[in-house]
Chain A
Amino acid sequence: MIRITFYTILLLILSPAAYSQDSNFVAKHRAIFFPYPMYKEKWRTSLGFSFLTTPEDITEEIRLRIPCGEFTVLRKISEKVQAQGRVSFQFLQNHITAGVHYVKPINKKFYWSAGNDIGYWFGLLKIVEGFNSKASGWLTYPSVSFGWMTRKDLLITLKAQASFNLYYQSENGENKFVSTQKYYNGEAFTLSIEQPFYQRKHLLLAFSAISNKFYWQTWSLFYKTNRRVFYPQITVGFIL
């Protein structure tokens, strides 16, 4: 993984000599993860779901795989700058991110991007005689992506994303705990595949290896720790 990160950084350093894209170019594919500039288009959206496998450290013998709805929207700011927004929803707990990403072709096959998203999550659990809990928090997610467009129209992207906890608040009944401690939370590596589906719509499939001290989907099971916990996640999406 360190080697992959190294090559990603190396490509970013070499990128000033990057391939110059014709602004009349119409993107061949509508991609979400792939760092593809937006020339003629103004919007790209995807709708799908992800499955996170809860780790043994938190849910012990029970392995929960609760589907999480994922809606992503990309908005062109300029040819190489995009605004990105994502809503991850499980109703009782939800996560919203918004950020800006710089996207640049290296040549016709390779592309990269870098950016940052700010995330807000919140959860609510009220069950008579059991739970009267709610929590919320803020995080920030700097990331870099490297994309490879294969000859067979398969878009492969490796995304490296760090996360920093900025704020955490938890309430149980009348008891409340607020932490403004800012700390490095961990990182996530995602390998995504995006491909035309029946020639019209595009399908995305992403595998994420998340190593975090805290992950928003487990807020109700959260216990105080400085230890990293590993969360594998699969995301499936339809690019609209």
Chain B
Amino acid sequence: MKKISAILMMSLFFLGCKKTQVAMPDSSQWALFRDGAAAPLPYATRQAMEGVYDIAGNDNFGSLAALKWSYVVNGNNDTTYHISGFFGKDIAHFICEGKQLNGQILLSGYWRKMVSTETGIIRFTIDPANGATVLLNPSPVLPTAIILDGLFGNGQDEPKNSITLSHNRPLHNGAAPFNILAHRGGGRNSDLLPVSENSVEMILKTAELGSTGIEIDVRFTKDGIPILYHDNDINLRLTQKSGLVGPIENYTYAQLNAFVRLINGERIPTLRQALSAALYKTPLTFIWLDTKYIGSLERVQALQFEFMELATGLGRPLQIVIGLPAEAQVNMFLELPDYNITPSLCELSLADVERTNSMIWAPRFTEGTQNENVAAIQAQGKKAFVWTLDVPEFIEQFIRDGQFDGILSNFPSCVAYNYYVQQ
């Protein structure tokens, strides 16, 4: 009996340790796209390409797609632009780079379904007669028929399945800006993205997934450096094997930087590095600093003010708020000098929002759309966000029936789709 039990326990343990992974396809093999004469797309072309498209030729991704460009700054005069397509089926998206060659527009990249591990290469061509000539005009005049002829494949297979996107209408953009917020910088490790949660690399990628803002988790090292890290301990969910164990607060930043790598190989970022990346390298306009520790908030507040001033100096819209998830953090916040003029986001009751003078109320989605409470908050000139909403059917309902100013999700691409395709 004991032997059998031991064998069974060992079997269950090893079965349970097997981790699922997504092998991202290498989409750089398209000879036409790699042609030395292929040139970047101008700003006006990119802007004109954005919109809601009808899908024909394939039901793999649903019937509509929302196409939007994003960018990441790599260095001086070096910026990479990506066009993302957000689909209504299986939380699918594609991310492509774009070029022009001989009057054609070429898009090359990969697609992914977030509900599964399915991914593959995707390519599009816009012929001169299908809108490329108009789009490549220095001042594109819309509306015009824009048709993207595409091919996609599974995994590393050569793309052979056809898909056609036809421009239907501009992206919906409501009267007030809607915040599409990405949890942990872009998504959790369990969502099997190619970069780790709460990393600089994730922050640089998140706009490709449709985010206009991020939520990141702040803790402190032993020597008082604010860093991004979610869990209490150093563990194999978030990090590669390092030999370090126990609470992350037990280690100095130098120790973490030397010995610990996040699950996809990145270093644990300091809060300064994360804010700097968001400010200087991305189009993100909102940062929610989720407070994951007990202690003084003064250093976080100092960084918050420093980076908001830097953003103002650059003429760059960027709002940074301190998140208050529980009573302990509320008390820490109320001990701050100038707390009443410090931008914050309160997850507790409406009374707590008033007590902390928070500019944003952020309830859980599990209480529903709460339109009356949201209207009451908005009547005070404040905003309301809801978290962490991942079920596509509820995302669709909250956008259609709710009045929230933003949604925090592990699937920002799903929020983006449901927001942008609104009539």
Contact = CB atoms under 8 A, between A and B. Distances in A.
Nearest to B91: A224
A130 interface: yes
Contact of B115 (A56, A61, A224): A224
A215 to B, nearest CB: 14
A173 B16 contact: no
B271 to A, nearest CB: 21
A136 interface: no
Contacts of A209: 11-12, 15
B255 interface: no
B286 interface: no
A175 B368 contact: yes
B1 A195 contact: yes
Contact of A172 (B12, B117, B368, B410): B368
Interface string B363-398: 111111110000000000000000000111110011
Given A60-B237, A193-B4, A172 B365 contact: yes
Interface residues of B, number: 45
A53 B13 CA distance: 11
Contacts of B115: 224-227
Interface in B10-27: 11-13, 15-16, 18, 20
A230 interface: yes
B349 A226 contact: no
Contacts of B369: 173-175
A132 B367 contact: yes
Given A55-B16, A207-B12, A226-B115, A61 B4 contact: no
A61 B1 contact: no
B235 interface: yes
B190 interface: yes
A226 B90 contact: yes
B245 to A, nearest CB: 13
Contacts of A193: 1, 4-5
Contacts of B401: 175
Interface in A58-87: 58, 60-61
Interface in B228-247: 230-233, 235, 237
A131 interface: yes
Nearest to A60: B237
A56 B366 contact: no
Contacts of A225: 115-116
Contacts of B365: 172
Contacts of A173: 366-370
Contacts of B394: 170, 172, 175, 177
Contacts of A191: 4, 8
Nearest to A62: B231
A125 interface: yes
B146 to A, nearest CB: 31
A60 B189 CA distance: 9
B266 to A, nearest CB: 18
Contacts of B398: 175
B348 interface: yes
B1 A130 contact: no
B268 to A, nearest CB: 16
A207 B8 contact: yes
**In this complex, which of B190, B349, B370 has the most chain A Cβ atoms within 10 angstroms of its Cβ?**
B190
Nearest to B348: A129
Nearest to A125: B366
B9 interface: yes
A177 B391 contact: yes
A159 B91 CA distance: 35
